Amino acid sequence: MSEFPILSLITFLPVLGMIIILFLPKEQPKTIKYLSIAITGLQVIMAFVLLANYNYGAAGINEENSFQFVEKFRWIHITGISWLGTVKVDYFLGIDGLSMPMILLTAIVSFIAALSSWTIDKSVKGYFALFLLLDTGMMGVFVALDFFLFYIFWELMLLPMYFLIGIWGGPRKEYAAIKFFIYTLFGSVFILLVMIGLYFSATETLADGSKVFTFNMLVMMNPANYNSDGILSAFNPNNLRFIAYIALFAGFAIKIPMFPFHTWLPDAHVEAPTPISVILAGVLLKMGTYGILRVSYPIFPDITRDLMWYIALFGMINIIYGALVALAQKDFKKLIAYSSVSHMGYVLLGMASLTTAGVNGAIFQMFNHGTITAMLFLIVGVVYDRTHTRGLNDFGGLAAQMPVYTGFVTVAFFAAIGLPSMSGFVSEALVFIGAFGVDSIRVLTMISTLGILLGAGYMLWTLQRVFFGPLNEKWASLNDLDKREYAMLIPLSVIIIFLGVYPSAMLDLMNTSVNSLVNFVSITLHSTTLSGF
C-alpha cells in the first residue's frame, strides 16, 4: 500500500537509537535519557500516523492484499538442489486490526516507560541501549507476518530483558532474571519446533508454478497449501496437528502467563525496576495472547475449535486463581503481578468464546490491561521511590498526604476493577457477553464473573490499607507528584477514561479483522479432520 516503509522505521528506529547511544560518552547520562525519550516519543507519533492512515475496512488475518502498510521482500532465498526444496524467508511486515492496537500500546507504554526510566542512575548507557533493543523486539513481533521473522523478534527480547531485570533489579534479581529467561526459552523452543513442522507441511506456489517451502504465516493458514505427507498436514492421517497445537499453545501460554506456567511472573515483577515492570505487564504479556490469535488460531482452526472449552477453562482458572492469590499478598508489586494473571484470564476467556464480541473484548482487554497495569506499576513505583518499601501494611492514610497521587490511584484501581466509564469495564463486559453466549462455556463464564468480585475485593482493600485510615507518622514528609510523574500518569488516565466513554475508537479499529478471524476460525476445514480427539 504505502510506499514509505513506515513499519520498518517504527520497528528499527530504537535500534538506530541504540547504536547512537553506544557511541555517546557515558558521562552524559542526560543526553542519553533525552535521546531515548525522543526516540520512543517519535515512535508514538509514528503509531498515530499509522492510525490516521489506517483503513478501518480492511480485514487482514489471512489475506495478504487486505493487510496494510505491507513490506515484503525476499530475504533468504536458497534454490539449491531440487530435493532439498527451496528455502524462502521473506521480510514480510504488515498490520491489521489485531496488530494495530498492539502497536499503539507498545509505542505508548514504551514512551511512558522511557519517561519512568529517568530515575535510573546505574550504567545509564547500557540500560537505555538494552531498553531500546527490547523495544525493537516488541514492535517487531507485532508487525511480522513471516513466522521466521516473528520468531527472531520473539527471541530478541529475551536477552535485553534478562539484563534489565538482572542488572537493575531488586535483591533477588539474579534468580528472577534467570527464571524468566529459562522459562521463556523453554516455551519458545516448542514454538520453534512447530515452526519447523509447519515449514515442511505447507508450500507456497510461486508465480512460475514452482512450489517452495516457506515460513510465510498466511500461506500456512490456507488448508489448500498443505502437502499430503506433511507432519502437520491434515491430509496426512498420522499428522501431529493436535500435539503441535498444544506445544505452540504452551509456548505462548508461558508468556501470558497462563496457569500453571505463571510462576515466573511474580518473581520477575517484584525484582524488576519500575519501568521494566511497566513494559513487562504492559506489552510483553500481550505477546502470548497475540501469538495465539495471530498464529495458533488461523493456522490450526480445527484444533482451536476442539479445544475451546479447555482454553476457557484455563481462562477461568487464571481469573479466579490470580484474584485469590492477589488477595493474600502483602507486597504491593506482587499484588499487581497476580492481578495481571487474573486480568489476562479475561483475555483467554474472551478468545475461547470464538465470537466477535468475545474476541473483540479480548483484544480490547489486552490494550486496556496494558495501559491500566502500566499505570498501576507506575503508582507502585512512585511510592517505592519515596519510601523504599512496598509492604501494603507499612502504609496508611497516604490520601491526606498525597491527594493528587491518590486521585490517580483511584482512577487506576477503579479501571482495574472494571467500573463503568473506565476502559476496563467495556472490555470485560464484552468478554462476558461473548463468552456467555456460547453454550459450552457458559458455566465457566458464570464462575469467572466471581473474578470481578474478588478483584474489587483486593483492589478496594489495598486502597483502604494504603491510602485511607490514619496516616503512618513515618511518611508525614512525603511529597506529592512531581512534573515527570504527571507526564506519565496523565496520558494513561486520559486513555483509560476516554476509551471507557468512547470505546468505539478502539473497537472500530479491530472489528473488521476480528469478524474475519472469527469467521475464518469457525468455518475453515482442514480436509478430513482426523486430528483432534
Partner 1 sequence: MANTNLYQSLSLIVPEIVLTIALLVLVTADLIFHKDKKSIPFVALAGILLTGYFTLIQIGNYGFAFQTSASAFKHYGMFASDPFSIFFKVIVIVSSLLIVFFSFSSDEIQKITDRIGEYYALIFGMILGMYFMISATDLILIYLSLELLSLSSYVLSGFTKLRDRDSEAALKYLLYGAVSSGLMLFGISLIYGLTGSTNLYIINSLIQSPDVNLFTLAFAVILIFAGIGYKISSAPFHFWTPDVYEGAPITITAFLSVASKAAGFALLIRFVKTTFVSYTDPNGMWQLINVFDWKTLLISISILTMTLGNFSALWQDNLKRMLAYSSIAHAGYILLGLVVFSDQGLKAIFIYFAVYMLMNLGAFLIVMLIANKIGSEEIDDYNGLGFTSPFLGVAFTIFLISLTGLPPTAGFIGKLYLFIALVDAKMIAVAVIALLNSVVSLYYYVRVLKHMYLTSPTKDTPAVSASLPNTILVSALVLATLVFGLYFSPVVDAAESSLFILGL
Q: At what angle do helices 301-327 and 450-467 cross, to 10 degrees?
A: 30
Please work out the total of residues on this chain that contact partner 1, with binding judged by CB under 8 A.
38
- Cell 541501549 identifies what position? 129
Does position 291 interact with partner 1 (CB under 8 A)? The reply is: no
Backbone angles phi, psi at 398, to 5 degrees: -65, -20
Interatomic CA distance for residues 38 and 13, integer angstroms: 11
Decide whether 194 or 435 has the Cβ nearer to partner 1: 194
CB of 350 to partner 1, least distance (A): 31
Sequential DSSP letters for 11-58: HHHHHHHHHHHHHS-TT-HHHHHHHHHHHHHHHHHHHHHHHHT--TT-
Does position 172 interact with partner 1 (CB under 8 A)? The reply is: no
Decide whether 178 or 463 has the Cβ nearer to partner 1: 178
Residues 229-268 that bind partner 1 (CB under 8 A): 231, 240
User: Applying CB under 8 A, which of residues 20, 37, 70, 167 lies at the interface with partner 1?
Assistant: 167
- DSSP SS3 for 147: helix
CB of 281 to partner 1, least distance (A): 23
Q: CA 402, 408, 412, 417 torsion: positive or negative?
A: positive
Decide whether 103 or 240 has the Cβ nearer to partner 1: 240
Decide whether 83 or 533 has the Cβ nearer to partner 1: 83
Decide whether 153 or 425 has the Cβ nearer to partner 1: 153
CB of 340 to partner 1, least distance (A): 25
Decide whether 80 or 391 has the Cβ nearer to partner 1: 80
* Strand-pair partners of 205: 211
CA 302 to chain centre: 25
Please count the CA atoms within 13 angstroms of the CA of 3 that sit on its side-chain side: 0
Q: CA 407, 408, 409, 415 torsion: positive or negative?
A: positive
CB of 432 to partner 1, least distance (A): 38
Does position 76 interact with partner 1 (CB under 8 A)? The reply is: yes
Does position 185 interact with partner 1 (CB under 8 A)? The reply is: yes
CB of 15 to partner 1, least distance (A): 11
Interatomic CA distance for residues 531 and 238, integer angstroms: 8
Binding-residue pattern over the window 135 to 164 for partner 1, x denoting contact by CB under 8 A:
----------------xx--xx-xx--xx-
Does position 128 interact with partner 1 (CB under 8 A)? The reply is: no
**Which of 283, 265, 400, 407 minimizes the C-alpha distance to 342?**
265
User: Applying CB under 8 A, which of residues 1, 196, 419, 530 lies at the interface with partner 1?
Assistant: 196
Decide whether 173 or 262 has the Cβ nearer to partner 1: 173
Does position 190 interact with partner 1 (CB under 8 A)? The reply is: yes
Sequence-ordered list of residues with C-beta below 8 angstroms from that of 312, at least 6 positions apart, any chain: 348, 349, 352, 353, 435, 441, 444, 445
Does position 433 interact with partner 1 (CB under 8 A)? The reply is: no
Residues 82-101 that bind partner 1 (CB under 8 A): 83-84, 87
CB of 470 to partner 1, least distance (A): 40
Interatomic CA distance for residues 407 and 409, integer angstroms: 5
Please, are residues 218 and 93 in contact by the beta-carbon 8 Å criterion?
no
User: Applying CB under 8 A, which of residues 12, 200, 235, 384 lies at the interface with partner 1?
Assistant: 200
Please choose, out of 56-64, 78-86, 325-333, 487-495, the segment that lies near partner 1 by the rule CB under 8 A.
78-86
Sequence-ordered list of residues with C-beta below 8 angstroms from that of 141, at least 6 positions apart, any chain: 150, 153, 154, 157, 287, 290, 291
Does position 19 interact with partner 1 (CB under 8 A)? The reply is: no
CB of 25 to partner 1, least distance (A): 13
Query: Cell numbers of 102, please?
Result: 498492539
- DSSP SS3 for 142: helix
Decide whether 100 or 248 has the Cβ nearer to partner 1: 248
Does position 410 interact with partner 1 (CB under 8 A)? The reply is: no
Interatomic CA distance for residues 28 and 25, integer angstroms: 6
CB of 516 to partner 1, least distance (A): 30
Sequence-ordered list of residues with C-beta below 8 angstroms from that of 294, at least 6 positions apart, any chain: 98, 99, 150, 217
Decide whether 122 or 483 has the Cβ nearer to partner 1: 122
Please, are residues 302 and 532 in contact by the beta-carbon 8 Å criterion?
yes
Query: Cell numbers of 383, please?
Result: 511510592
* Strand-pair partners of 71: 93
User: Applying CB under 8 A, which of residues 17, 29, 166, 266 lies at the interface with partner 1?
Assistant: 166
Decide whether 48 or 151 has the Cβ nearer to partner 1: 151
Decide whether 54 or 163 has the Cβ nearer to partner 1: 163
Decide whether 182 or 328 has the Cβ nearer to partner 1: 182
User: Applying CB under 8 A, which of residues 9, 78, 476, 525 lies at the interface with partner 1?
Assistant: 78
Residues 375-404 that bind partner 1 (CB under 8 A): none
Decide whether 128 or 414 has the Cβ nearer to partner 1: 128
CB of 352 to partner 1, least distance (A): 27
Decide whether 216 or 368 has the Cβ nearer to partner 1: 216
Burial of residue 57 (number of CB atoms within 10 Å: 0-12, 13-18, 19+): exposed
Does position 212 interact with partner 1 (CB under 8 A)? The reply is: no
Omega before 260 within 30 of 0, i.e. cis: yes
* Strand-pair partners of 213: 87, 203
Query: Cell numbers of 438, please?
Result: 456460547
User: Applying CB under 8 A, which of residues 80, 260, 391, 420 lies at the interface with partner 1?
Assistant: 80
Residues within the interface to partner 1 (CB under 8 A): 75-78, 80-81, 83-84, 87, 123, 151-152, 155-156, 158-159, 162-163, 166-167, 173-174, 177-178, 181-182, 185-186, 189-190, 192-193, 196-197, 199-200, 231, 240
